[in-house]
Amino acid sequence: MNDTYDKHILEVSNLCKIYHKGKIEIPAVKDISYKFHNGQIISIVGKSGSGKSTLLNLIGGLDVATSGQILINGKDLIKMSRYELALHRRFLVGMVFQSFNLIHSRNALQNVTLALAFGGVPRKDRKEKAAELLKSVGLEQRLYHKPAELSGGEAQRVAIARALANNPKVLLADELTGNLDSSTSKEIIDLLMNLNKEKNLTILMVTHDIETAERVSDNVIRLKDGMVISD
């Protein structure tokens, strides 16, 4: 494993997730194995219900796998203690979602400073660092706007800045352009491509937009009924 460890920040093997609803078993992810190369953009596509979000949530540590392995930075997520899992969520992965998930009562700057606080950045440094992050996503003119006072594209930029606050190795994006019009979507995708290049950030994104997936990503994972059909 160690020789691949430099090349592959993330590796899943024989990953399975079965949900239980009453007596019914729902196999959402079925025996997925995949090595994610450092610094690549990888898209996950597939019909609704094919397991895309489940796969992303397992890797993000938001959900617990039924069996298999998720090796991130050489450690198996499935064997991590609660504390290690919290560190994983804080420092190794950043997550962005279709619905932004910002805190509505806080402005852009505060949404980002909060993530920095969780990451242990000293209070005196947070504001400057948050402003820098927001500048890097093109929002230096919107620091004091609350989410309701931002456009969808701007709100998603705040969410991206927040996800990057603690320098994650992998950015996980679940349909982050799903609520945006096509030109705003393109801007957000361009932003991701720049971050990928500038920071060598590994990006794993779920999308319904196969054309964009094929245009921007190094690899496309196609899911059907929880299984990879090709990559």
57 binds Mg ion (CB under 5 A): no
SS3 state at 85: helix
Give the pairing type, strands 202-206 and 219-224.
unpaired
Residue 37: its H or E element:
strand 24-37
Which residue of this chain has its Cβ atom nearest to Mg ion in the complex? 53
How many residues sit in the footprint of ligand ATP (CB under 6 A)? 12
Least distance from C-beta 160 to Mg ion, angstroms?
Answer: 18
Both structure tokens of 195: 């971050």
Q: What is the DSSP string of 90-123?
A: IIIEEEEETT----TTS-HHHHHHHHHHHTT--H
Strand order in the sheet with 41-46: 93-97, 170-174, 202-206, 41-46, 219-224, 227-230
* Nearest of 105, 96, 109 to residue 203 by alpha carbon: 96
- Residue 68: which of ligand ATP, Mg ion, none does it interact with, CB under 5 to 8 A by kind? none
Q: How far apart are CA 12 and CA 34, in angstroms?
A: 5
64 binds ligand ATP (CB under 6 A): no
53 binds Mg ion (CB under 5 A): yes
Phi (first) and psi of residue 186, to 5 degrees: -65, -40
Show contacts with ligand ATP in window 24-63 (CB under 6 A): 26, 28, 46, 48-54
Nearer to ligand ATP, 26 or 64 (CB): 26
- Residue 19: which of Mg ion, ligand ATP, none does it interact with, CB under 5 to 8 A by kind? ligand ATP
Nearer to Mg ion, 46 or 68 (CB): 46
5 binds ligand ATP (CB under 6 A): no
Least distance from C-beta 60 to ligand ATP, angstroms?
Answer: 12
CB-CB contact of 178 with 97 (8 Å): no
Q: Identity (one letter) of the amino acid at 198?
A: E
- Residue 26: which of Mg ion, ligand ATP, none does it interact with, CB under 5 to 8 A by kind? ligand ATP
Nearer to ligand ATP, 46 or 94 (CB): 46
Q: Identity (one letter) of the amino acid at 103?
A: I
- Per CB under 5 A, the segment of 50-58, 123-131, 137-145, 213-221 that binds Mg ion is 50-58
- Residue 23: which of ligand ATP, Mg ion, none does it interact with, CB under 5 to 8 A by kind? none
Q: Which residues lie near ligand ATP (CB under 6 A)? A: 19, 21, 26, 28, 46, 48-54
Q: Which residues lie near Mg ion (CB under 5 A)? A: 53
